[in-house]
Amino acid sequence: MITDGPMKILNVNTATATIKGAPQMIEKNMSEWTAEDKMKANLDNVAKDILYKTLDKNMFAKIKTCTNAKEIWENLTQLCEGNYQTKENKLTAAIQKFENDKIKPGETLTEFDERFIGIIIELISLGKYYSNREISLKVMRALPKE
């Protein structure tokens, strides 16, 4: 439902010939739906309900005009992740944070570690991975000389 959109209940069109060996399909009238067809048609409502239940009031207000689960998902993806340019900007900023990170005066190793791990998690969520060796070297460079 999220990737393809609402399911259409189709029936073979017996009034027309087959196209390239495959029968032509037309949408089935609701009066002809079986119990299984009704369940399939309701899957979009189930997906919408799941998405609605995971959102807070602020996010719900931004997607409440969407008509199907696919549209809701696309809007949420755009709102949360942004477009390609936004993702690239976020990645560039996170890489700069990683490369420029140093332990601050008066900061404990635990505080530095928490902040540094937050940067690593942000990078991973944006698709940038560093090897353990690269991370270890960066930590060593971030420590004060004394």
For residue range 39-48, list pLDDT tens digits in order: 888 898 999 9
Please report, for residues 53, 113, 124, the alpha-carbon distance to residue 121 in angstroms, rounded to integers and kept in the order given: 26, 12, 5
The answer to whether residue 1 is domain-embedded is no
Same domain, 17 and 64: yes
The answer to whether residue 2 is domain-embedded is no
56: helix, coil or strand? coil
Residue 19 has phi, psi (to 5 degrees) of -105, 115
Q: pTM score, two decimals? A: 0.52
Same domain, 70 and 110: no
Calculated CA dihedral for residues 50, 53, 56, 57, nearest 10 degrees: 110
Residue 117 pLDDT grade (very low, low, confident, very high; cuts 50, 70, 90)? very high
The structure tokens 């008066």 sit at 106
**Looking at residues 10-31, what average pLDDT do you find?**
73
Same domain, 29 and 69: yes
CA distance 41 to 130: 45
Residue 19 pLDDT grade (very low, low, confident, very high; cuts 50, 70, 90)? low
The answer to whether residue 5 is domain-embedded is no
For residue 105, the enclosing domain spans 84-142
